[in-house]
Structure formats: structure tokens, C-alpha cells
Amino acid sequence: MFCPNCGEKLESPNQRFCSRCGSELQSTPFFETPQEPVQQIQVPPVQSVPVYETKPIKTGGPGSYSKKVFAFGFLSLVIAGIGFSLDMISFLRFVIPIYVFPRLLGGPIVLIAAMIVHFIGVIFGVVAKANSTKARKHEMENTLERVGKVFGILGIIANMIPLVVINIALIIINVPYSPPPGPIYP
């Protein structure tokens, strides 16, 4: 009989442990040809593997950047609404004569105020977009940041259109009208 683990010849058939490797032997006799001892394979030493710096796992809810994105984007839209209101008041003053609604504000002061408000709205929209970029780098992706980003983009668009239209309207209004030379009626 031989040891099934190392192939050593057993001294007696009733032996319970191998005298060479110490492994427990089966109670039934094991009759086989001796096995050659298993050769040890030399494994070359493992070279060091480069470890790259890992980014921290983003966890939790909306962070401070996401909240700023939403706040500035929302304010950009609110400011666009305020600017549109000032635009309408100024437009009504040009359309409706002053003797119909004498207490209605209007004129160039309200138009300039509307332009300033729209410019501030564009700035808030740009700040929302900038904070959105920071939020994507430092925070987990979340809905608040996405909504704020959309609000910021819409705020930029809603505030830029009146700025362009108001300037074009001012240029058209301020171009002096000169009638063609010569008599009007022949």
C-alpha cells in the first residue's frame, strides 16, 4: 500500500497516518502502483504592478455645486421673466400714447433697466453652466444638477434674445427719418 498524497510506501496496512507527509489515510486498503512525487514548479517572482491613483467614489445626494447650478439656473429664468415684464412695459409706452395711461412707466429708463436685468440673467446662466462642469467632476450625477443645467441654458437663451432684439429696435427707432427731396405731391 502507498500513501495517496505523497506516494510513500506504507509500513503496515492498518496504518492511519503517513510517516512521510502526515496525511490521514483511508481505512480501506489502497492498492495501486506508486505515484511519482509531484514536481515543484518554480514560479518566477511577480514584478510590481503600477498602481494608479483612484478617484474617490462619489456618494450621497446633491452636493454644493449641484445646488448652485440649480439656484443660478432658476434665477436666470426668473430674471428673464422680470426682464420680459420690463420689456413689455417699455413697449406699451411706445405703442400707447401717454394721455391714455398717464401713470404707466416706460421710456428709455425702463428699456435700459430691462437690458441690465437681461445682462444679469445671462451672467447667472453662465455661472450655472460653469458650476455644472464642476459638479460633474466632483459630485455624483444627479437630477438637480441636470435640471439646473437646463435652466441655465434656457436662461442664457431667454436673456440673450431680448438683448439682441432691444438693441436692434433701438437702432431702428433712433435712425432719423428724412423724407425724400422734392415736393411730396406733384
Most confident option among 19-23, 29-33, 51-55, 92-96: 19-23
Instruction: Taking residues 41-58, report their average pLDDT.
Output: 69
CA distance 90 to 50: 67
Domain extent listing, the chain? 64-174
18 touches 8 (CB < 8 A) = yes
Residue 116 has a pLDDT of: 92
Residue 57 has a pLDDT of: 58
Whether the CA torsion 6, 10, 13, 18 is positive or negative: it is negative
Q: Which three cell numbers stand for residue 151?
A: 435652466
- Given a cut of 60, whether residue 95 has pLDDT beyond it is yes
Most confident option among 52-66, 88-102, 141-155: 141-155
Most confident option among 2-11, 30-39, 170-179: 2-11
CA atoms within 13 Å, Cβ hemisphere of 104 = 19
pTM over 0.85: no
Classify residue 47 by its DSSP letter. P
